[in-house]
Chain A
């Protein structure tokens, strides 16, 4: 036990550095993927057939290929196409793109869940499509999908560990490096597990809370 604690103290600074990078990866990717995801969702439901198609293909490609492949692709293939990114930037791009496809579907489900009458009522007071979306549909849709976004964020924290394979010194990579130099596998990977769990926990509580609140004063719209 004494060994464990003294080792832990020794590893702590490295773990802390890794955790900071993991949190950065998660937050930046989440923000970017929310923006891209919303844009793709809107593209998927807009009356323009061509844009629908493009967004559909985007979602299909991103959801149909592993994140690991996407990560490798951005890091190793993009430079060949003339776009060189640091490992950290590449991880951000891959995570954002990957997450955006799932969020796009979440947003789209949220928009579809708003009764048709809301859009008609908005049109009837002279709002055009984009104004109706912005003022009437999206505020309700986003409120309804916030718990789902929270769940996506939890997945994103854990997915960010894949950035280790392209040498981003986030938590997982730090752990790997430590483990290969100290052979303290049990301790190191247990600690990594605990840190990921601790990172997800506040979010999980928040999602629970939002779901309960959402159920209570959810938008009750008439059946017509």
Chain B
């Protein structure tokens, strides 16, 4: 579905991603973990070209989302072409980023109507189905600021789903939430995973990684340290010392 080939990214002189190859297959849930500053969010943000890699290429279903070849010339895609790809890859942010001047329903139908160009009635119908799915039908006409963080994040997921994306990216979707609100968002994400949605998730929720993830990818200092199924990753005999240390720090903090 999505392939990253030898991706590198520097901010000014600082190398954040130092060469990553990664592919996400259809229907797969890939969980990306790592210490803060390891570059995992940057990696995720490059998957829909919100950040542009300094080197390397990203392919969606075999087609490069960053470059095009016209008459043998290798050039960067322009804003409009990038937007076309972004419409196929949904994203859920740590800070929700619901459109503050729009109601819940308007947030969800905005993309379908103005990007997909579908009819308003149909968009509303689909939005209502999605609202039901995330359990927030009664919030239809409210504004984001009147909702809790957990509710806002579930709306943000509905907004991303409304575009019928081929894949969803989650950038620490529960990190900004009060602990008691984390569960309601994870439940929605788990449901999506069970329905076969292709997902790449950056998170600190190890329970989610273990239970829902097909693969866990550990990133540190801009490279992939390990790419393993959760049962192997979380096993006490994980041969990598950095990962063992990371996991033990997390479990200590959790107490």
Chain A residues close to B by CB (< 8 Å): 115, 117-118, 120-129, 131, 135-136, 139-140, 143, 219-224
Instruction: Report the contact-size class of chain B (Cβ under 8 Å from the partner).
Output: 35 or more
How distant is B85 from chain A, measured CB to nearest CB, in Å?
Answer: 8
- Is the Cβ of B115 less than 8 Å from the Cβ of A127? yes
Can you list 10 A-B pairs, Cβ within 8 angstroms, ordered by A?
A121-B98, A124-B86, A126-B88, A126-B116, A127-B111, A127-B114, A128-B80, A131-B114, A219-B100, A220-B145
Q: Which of B88, B111, B156 has the most CB atoms of chain A within a 10 A radius of its CB?
A: B111
- Is the Cβ of B87 less than 8 Å from the Cβ of A126? yes
Within the assembled complex, what's the spacing in Å between the Cα atoms of A134 and B240? 50
- Is the Cβ of B110 less than 8 Å from the Cβ of A223? no
Pick from B50, B145, B159: contact of A120, CB below 8 A.
B50
- Is the Cβ of A118 less than 8 Å from the Cβ of B100? yes
Chain B residues close to A by CB (< 8 Å): 48, 50, 79-80, 82-84, 86-91, 93-101, 110-111, 114-116, 145, 149, 152, 156, 159-160, 163, 176
- Is the Cβ of A128 less than 8 Å from the Cβ of B83? yes
Q: Which of A126, A129, A131, A135 has the most CB atoms of chain B within a 10 A radius of its CB?
A: A126
- Is the Cβ of B79 less than 8 Å from the Cβ of A128? yes
How distant is A119 from chain B, measured CB to nearest CB, in Å?
Answer: 9
- Is the Cβ of B50 less than 8 Å from the Cβ of A140? no
How distant is A132 from chain B, measured CB to nearest CB, in Å?
Answer: 9
- Is the Cβ of B86 less than 8 Å from the Cβ of A220? no
Q: Which residues of B contact A123 (CB under 8 A)?
A: 50, 83, 86
- Is the Cβ of B176 less than 8 Å from the Cβ of A222? yes
- Is the Cβ of B50 less than 8 Å from the Cβ of A136? no
Pick from B97, B111, B116, B145: contact of A117, CB below 8 A.
B97
Q: Which residues of B contact A135 (CB under 8 A)?
A: 110, 114
Q: Which residues of A contact B50 (CB under 8 A)?
A: 120, 123-124
Within the assembled complex, what's the spacing in Å between the Cα atoms of A81 and B114? 46
- Is the Cβ of A136 less than 8 Å from the Cβ of B86? no
- Is the Cβ of A120 less than 8 Å from the Cβ of B93? yes
Q: Which residues of A contact B163 (CB under 8 A)?
A: 125-126
Within the assembled complex, what's the spacing in Å between the Cα atoms of A128 and B84? 8
How distant is B104 from chain A, measured CB to nearest CB, in Å?
Answer: 14
Q: Which residues of B contact A125 (CB under 8 A)?
A: 86-87, 90, 110-111, 115, 159-160, 163
- Is the Cβ of B93 less than 8 Å from the Cβ of A224? yes
Q: Which of A115, A122, A129 has the most CB atoms of chain B within a 10 A radius of its CB?
A: A122
A-B contact sample (17 more), CB < 8 A, given A118-B97, A128-B83, A221-B100: A115-B97, A117-B97, A121-B156, A125-B160, A125-B163, A126-B84, A126-B87, A127-B83, A139-B101, A219-B145, A220-B100, A220-B145, A222-B149, A223-B95, A224-B94, A224-B95, A224-B97
- Is the Cβ of A222 less than 8 Å from the Cβ of B86? no
Q: Which residues of A contact B145 (CB under 8 A)?
A: 219-221
Q: Which residues of A contact B91 (CB under 8 A)?
A: 121, 124
Q: Which residues of B contact A129 (CB under 8 A)?
A: 79
- Is the Cβ of B87 less than 8 Å from the Cβ of A140? no
How distant is B220 from chain A, measured CB to nearest CB, in Å?
Answer: 24
Within the assembled complex, what's the spacing in Å between the Cα atoms of A118 and B97? 6
Q: Which of B86, B149, B152 has the most CB atoms of chain A within a 10 A radius of its CB?
A: B86
How distant is A7 from chain B, measured CB to nearest CB, in Å?
Answer: 53
Q: Which residue from chain A places its CB closest to the CB of B172 in the assembled complex? A: A224
Given A135-B114, A143-B101, A220-B145: A124 in contact with B160 (beta carbons within 8 A): yes
- Is the Cβ of A121 less than 8 Å from the Cβ of B97? yes
- Is the Cβ of A219 less than 8 Å from the Cβ of B101? yes
Q: Which residues of B contact A118 (CB under 8 A)?
A: 97, 99-100
Q: Which residue from chain B places its CB closest to the CB of A126 in the assembled complex? A: B87
Given A117-B95, A124-B91: A140 in contact with B101 (beta carbons within 8 A): yes
Q: Which residues of A contact B48 (CB under 8 A)?
A: 124
Within the assembled complex, what's the spacing in Å between the Cα atoms of A139 and B114? 15
How distant is A217 from chain B, measured CB to nearest CB, in Å?
Answer: 8
- Is the Cβ of A126 less than 8 Å from the Cβ of B86? yes
- Is the Cβ of B100 less than 8 Å from the Cβ of A126? no
Within the assembled complex, what's the spacing in Å between the Cα atoms of A136 and B100? 9
Q: Which residues of A contact B83 (CB under 8 A)?
A: 123, 126-128, 131
Within the assembled complex, what's the spacing in Å between the Cα atoms of A222 and B81? 30
Within the assembled complex, what's the spacing in Å between the Cα atoms of A128 and B78? 10
Pick from B82, B115, B176: contact of A224, CB below 8 A.
B176
Q: Which residues of A contact B115 (CB under 8 A)?
A: 125-127, 131
